[in-house]
Copies of this chain bind each other. A is one copy, B any other.
Amino acid sequence: MYVTHLECPKCKTKFNHRELNQLCTSCQAPLLVRYDLNTIKEDFKKEYLKTRCCNLWRYRELLPIEKHSNVVSLGEVMTPILKIDKVGNSIGLKNLYLKDEGFNPGGSFKSRGAAIGISRAKELGVKAFAMPTNGNAGAAWATYAAKADIKAFIVMPKDAPTITRNECQISGAKLFLVDGLISDAGKIVAKAVKKYRFMDASTLKEPYRIEGKKTMGFEIAEQFGWKVPDVILYPTGGGVGLIGIYKALLELKEIGFIEGKLPRLVAVQATNCAPIVKAFKENKKESEFWEDAQTIAFGITVPKAIGDFLVLEAIYETNGSAIAIDDKDILKYQELIAKHEGLFICPEGAATLAAADELYKNGWIKDNEKVLLLNTGSGLKYPDTVISNPPILKIDEEI
């Protein structure tokens, strides 16, 4: 393993990666995993990838797992990137792509964070953790925890997608609902981790989940032949996916796998929960708590992200943007892509298509630019986004 230490991105204090660390003890910021990138540059060559399995473990030099025996896997695959020409043409974008994270275990990108987070937790001897979730992360961590024999305590809003309750329940996690938002679930978890001395697996309160999410960035670079797209649009709640992709691209640049300009990163939020967009418009470095947050894209209902400053940094550093989409448009674009491409994506993913359309129409995305949408999960997890009232025939009726 090439990890050298954990580092606070604010005060740069170093922490030991062989101990269980959560936030920076001085400034309460998330810790980031740092690698010996110079040695990785010597040891790791692109051509090694040709003979490795098509899943996130192929990037092992840049992952924080010491022993292969600690890897906890539910069969991860390299998720496909599809050129979506039909829907692209319908909105005028000629080079439109979608990375479909619905192919992950449990149907969402959250399994990447859980795969690395749980594997490392196992390696560090963790026996139990608690976490707040908007549904999918909890489901992912609960299932990986079952495989790893780690106890999971999950707290999610009662409005989170119901199927994610089932995933927690059947895999043996202790599940609690809260009559509130993920921020309320977070407070309950904070008390529980103190009381029971659980590991706190809240977004960015442990340093390894992001290491799983960053594998999206590795895959994007490799799948595009190490020539990154011009723009990447990411549905942004807690923001770990976007931060992860940014971290991955910086690491790849450092080891010489990619060069030139990074993609402009765009955080896509929902109009009724857009703290990052507001901060970006006001040119601020951090966001403020968003009151009365509500959107059909439940996964991005995050009123205040602990890593907001990292999301904003990634946007500013790449000359990116942040944009909010109405629920009505989310549903419209979810249907548009299904009708054209046969892809049943989640509302969060649909928001990125709406955003790409808007950014192209207002000139921010130029003709012929290569644009990548991240669909963070399968539409299967959100049955309520589609209204279906087909006729019911009797057995002797005709169509």
Contact = CB atoms under 8 A, between A and B. Distances in A.
A137 interface: no
Contact of A386 (B170, B174, B381, B390): B170
Nearest to A156: B390
Contacts of A195: 398
Contacts of A344: 106, 143, 166-167, 170-171
Interface string A149-192: 00001010010001101111111101111111000100110011
Interface string A358-398: 00000000000000000000111101011110111111011
A184 B395 contact: yes
Interface stretch (A59-67, A76-84, A241-249): A76-84
B341 A147 contact: yes
A284 interface: no
B188 A342 contact: no
B106 A103 contact: no
Interface in A132-157: 142-148, 153, 155
Interface stretch (A9-17, A275-283, A293-301, A332-340): A332-340
A75 B100 contact: yes
A20 interface: no
B390 A165 contact: yes
Contacts of A55: 80
Contacts of A192: 398-399
A291 B260 CA distance: 67
Contacts of A338: 143, 146, 170-172
B386 A176 contact: no
A178 B395 CA distance: 6
Q: What size tier do the contact residues of chain A reach? A: 35 or more
The listed residue with most B CB atoms (<10 A of its CB), out of A100, A378, A380, is A380
Contacts of A399: 130, 153, 155, 174, 176, 188, 191-192
A55 to B, nearest CB: 8
Contact of A392 (B162, B178, B334, B335): B178
B171 A74 contact: no
A107 interface: yes
Nearest to A144: B342
A142 B153 CA distance: 39
B393 A177 contact: yes
Given A167-B344, A388-B165, A82 B75 contact: yes
A144 B77 CA distance: 21
Contacts of A51: 50
A1 interface: no
A71 interface: no
Nearest to A167: B344
Contacts of A191: 398-399
A392 B163 contact: no
What are the nearest 8 A-B pairs in CB distance? A75-B80, A147-B342, A143-B342, A166-B386, A146-B342, A169-B388, A170-B338, A175-B390
